[in-house]
Amino acid sequence: MRMWKTGAIAAALLPLAMSQAFAEEAKTTTNAPEAKYQSAGSPLANVEMYQDINPKAPPMSKAEFDKARQIYFERCAGCHGVLRKGATGKPLTPEKTLAAGTDYLKVFIKYGSPAGMPNWGTSGELTDDEVDLMARYIQQTPPQPPEFGMKDMKSTWKVIVPPEQRPTKKMNNYNIANIFSTTLRDTGEVALIDGDTKKIINVVKTGYAVHISRLSASGRYLFVIGRDAKINMIDLWMEKPDNVAEIRVGLEARSVDTSKYKGYEDKLAIAGSYWPPQYVIMKGDTLEPLKIMATRGMTVGEQEYHPEPRVASIVASHFKPEFVVNVKETGKTLMVDYTDLNVIATKEIPVAKFLHDGGFDSSKRYFMVAANQSNKIGAIDVKDGKLAGLIDVGKIPHPGRGANFIHPKYGPVWATGHLGDESIALIGTDPVKHKQYAWKMVESIKGPGGGALFIKSHPKSTHLYSDTPLNPDPKLSQSVAVFDINNLAAGYKTLPIGEWAGLKDDGAKRVVQPEYNKAGDEVWFSVWSAKNKESAIVVVDDKTLQLKAVIKDPRLITPTGHFNVYNTQHDIY
């Protein structure tokens, strides 16, 4: 009995001990909205992997191992990494987890930690049996996902309509420049919506959970990439725009773009993978893979080897024949010269961990990239190929592409919201006429709350919009904040976008990604509910901030990101 009491007391004290042990980490690691964002399911959940049985680890059956592996890639890989070496979360490799032991790990998984580890058990997302399963699983040797090389890519590559069989002129009456490409996340599709008539032109089959849509330099071809690393190339000149080529470039990915420099328009495409950690350059008219380059290497700062540096964002320079490749875990930006694919010349710019997303400033000379876990924004000078500035901002910046506007005092600024706090950071971007403000956070304004994903403005607008779809408060996640650029001190107005959608069921109604039309007088929002719930697109008049239209259609299932063709083609945000 005495031993039982001692064990029970020890188990009861574990959460307190863990809280103390991880208290310092809380200053720098994840919070609830970010954990929710990072732990979104990975396409690797059902990929067959090599399993190395660890004789020191607790026993697991093949069925238990497979179930735990699926849970890991659905819940944990985003923070802790495919190989469990650590990313935004701590390493979970056997030398650490075996020393901790099953009982300790069960409490850690069930109750979470102040450092940002979600309370998977007490939240009800994992049962006690699943908590036990995961505690045993992370003591096993991490399973190795397969590589994905040229042979694998070519086996998935399809040219549906060869270039010589495609239209030689535009075959439809659509105002192509004002088409919106809207991700239908859970159905593996994008909806092409006519921005003039608000009607769906076509629903195109794509990869799962398309992350971004990008345009060729000419504006004819739309490229989308799913989280399963499938790229679809859509010809907007066709009578009904549809796929003309597709390929898978890996097992998990986020980024795609095309060559923009004069003389190389529409010639090349590039995509980066989360797994394997690499990028591939392809032909711009067929997606034929030409060159694969690995990103495994040393991190900034500690200069330690990292086995899975994921490719986050990629953009094409307007000043040189280069792609700007941002590598998350190593914290480096790679300037990739694409003039000779047989002799790839790459310039490496150390920035900060962990690089994520970003966008150009208004001059398109500087790429502003978020180093989210470092709470910094790096300003990459794509003309001179150097780091122009590294700016401290709020907690976990998440700009999407950010927002550019002219501030009455500071001149041109670029803005980002944050996952981890309610602030919106304004950064000066004019080192010529406003040198004293360049590459500094000139102002931090208060938004509605953390959990922000996207912020947006337009050269013809006097407004700045910020969403908060990952905020736990439905009043915030179902609305959007809008600021008057000329009177930021007045604070924001709240637009009840979720309410305006007029949805008849009780879905989540998360409002995400403001996007302007070509004219800059409308702003579109996705109202994102579950797969089995009704969703919608809400269009707001930017001048009056009044509801202008609601787009409803049974095919609009889990709409999330949407991209206006003209604004995306010309990097207008």
Contact yes or no for 332/325 (Cβ under 8 A): no
434 has catalytic annotation: no
d(CA 485, CA 11): 54
209 to 43, 46, 205, 367, 423: CA distances (angstroms): 10, 16, 11, 25, 28
d(CA 139, CA 132): 11
1 has catalytic annotation: no
117 has catalytic annotation: yes
CA angle 195, 198, 202 (to 5 degrees): 85
d(CA 190, CA 184): 5
d(CA 462, CA 516): 12
418 has catalytic annotation: no
Coil vs helix vs strand at 369 = strand
398 has catalytic annotation: yes
d(CA 312, CA 356): 5
Out of 117, 153, 282, 335, which one is annotated catalytic? 117
Out of 211, 306, 398, 458, which one is annotated catalytic? 398
d(CA 92, CA 100): 10
Out of 356, 418, 458, 562, which one is annotated catalytic? 356
Out of 18, 60, 79, 335, which one is annotated catalytic? 79
463 has catalytic annotation: no
d(CA 395, CA 413): 19
Query: Pseudo-torsion of CA 67, 68, 73, 78, nearest 10°?
Result: 160
Out of 18, 60, 76, 233, which one is annotated catalytic? 76
Out of 80, 211, 318, 407, which one is annotated catalytic? 80
d(CA 311, CA 148): 15
Q: Which two tokens stand for residue 480?
A: 């959007």
Q: Could you tell me which of 490, 382, 459, 469 has the C-alpha nearest to residue 417?
A: 469
Catalytic (active-site) positions? 76, 79-80, 117, 356, 398
